[in-house]
C-alpha cells in the first residue's frame, strides 16, 4: 500500500466523464515517483477502491465535476468542502467514492488529507473521445496534481 494515492475516477466511455482517468494516465507518463506513491485508474469502482487506498495518508481524487460553473473551469475541494461537492453527484461512481471516504473516516487508520480536483465537463454521454475543450485541460490539471503530489512527497521525505 502507498502513503500517497492519486486516483483518477470516471467513466471513459462517457466522453468528458473520463477526465479523471485520463489525467491519471497523463500523470503516470510525466512522473516517476517513489514506491510510496501510487497513481490509480479508479474508473467507476467507488467502494471497491477501498482495499487499494486503505493505508493511504494523502489522497488526491481527480474527476469531472458536476458543479455550477463554466465548462472547463478548474476546481479543487478539501475538508468540509468535499461534502458539498459530493452532494451534487455527476454519476453513480461518485456516490461510491463518497461512501468509501465516509467509511475510511471510521477506521483505525483514517486518511489525513483528501483533495478532489477536476474540471466541469462539457459533454457526458456515450462516446470514447473527450471533447476538445476538456481534453485540452488534461495536461494543465495533471500538472496541478503533480505540484500537489510533489509537495506531499517532500513532506514525506523530511
Q: What does the pLDDT look like over 71-114, one tens digit per residue?
A: 999 999 998 787 666 665 544 445 456 666 666 666 666 788 99
Please state the pTM of the whole predicted model: 0.90
Q: What is the mean pLDDT of the chain?
A: 87
Cα 64 to the chain's mean position, in Å? 9
Give the integer Cα–Cα distance in Å for 16 and 19. Answer: 5
* Of 68, 61, 63, residue with least CA distance to 88: 68
Which residues make Cβ contacts (< 8 Å) with residue 120, sequence separation at least 6? 64, 65, 66, 67, 69, 70, 71, 72, 73, 75
Using an 8 Å Cβ cutoff, are 50 and 5 in contact?
A: no
Going by C-beta distance under 8 Å and a sequence separation of 6 or more, which residues neighbour residue 111?
53, 56, 57, 58, 59, 101, 104, 105
Q: What's the pLDDT at 48? A: 80
pLDDT, tens digit (0-9, with 9 covering 90-100), for 11-22: 999 999 999 999
Amino acid at each position: 500500500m502507498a502513503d500517497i494515492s492519486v486516483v483518477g475516477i470516471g467513466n471513459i466511455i462517457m466522453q468528458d466523464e473520463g477526465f479523471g482517468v485520463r489525467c491519471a494516465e497523463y500523470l503516470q507518463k510525466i512522473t516517476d515517483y517513489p514506491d510510496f506513491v501510487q497513481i490509480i485508474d479508479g474508473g467507476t469502482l467507488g467502494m471497491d477502491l477501498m482495499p487499494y487506498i486503505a493505508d493511504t495518508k494523502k489522497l488526491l481524487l481527480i474527476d469531472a465535476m458536476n458543479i455550477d460553473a463554466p465548462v472547463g473551469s478548474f476546481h479543487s475541494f478539501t475538508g468540509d468542502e468535499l461534502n458539498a461537492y459530493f452532494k451534487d453527484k455527476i454519476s453513480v461512481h461518485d456516490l461510491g467514492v463518497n461512501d468509501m471516504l465516509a467509511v475510511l473516516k471510521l477506521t483505525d487508520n483514517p486518511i489525513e488529507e483528501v483533495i478532489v480536483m477536476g474540471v466541469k465537463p462539457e459533454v457526458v454521454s456515450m462516446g470514447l473521445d473527450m471533447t476538445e475543450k476538456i481534453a485540452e485541460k488534461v495536461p494543465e490539471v495533471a500538472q496541478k496534481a503533480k505540484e500537489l503530489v510533489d509537495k506531499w512527497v517532500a513532506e514525506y521525505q523530511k
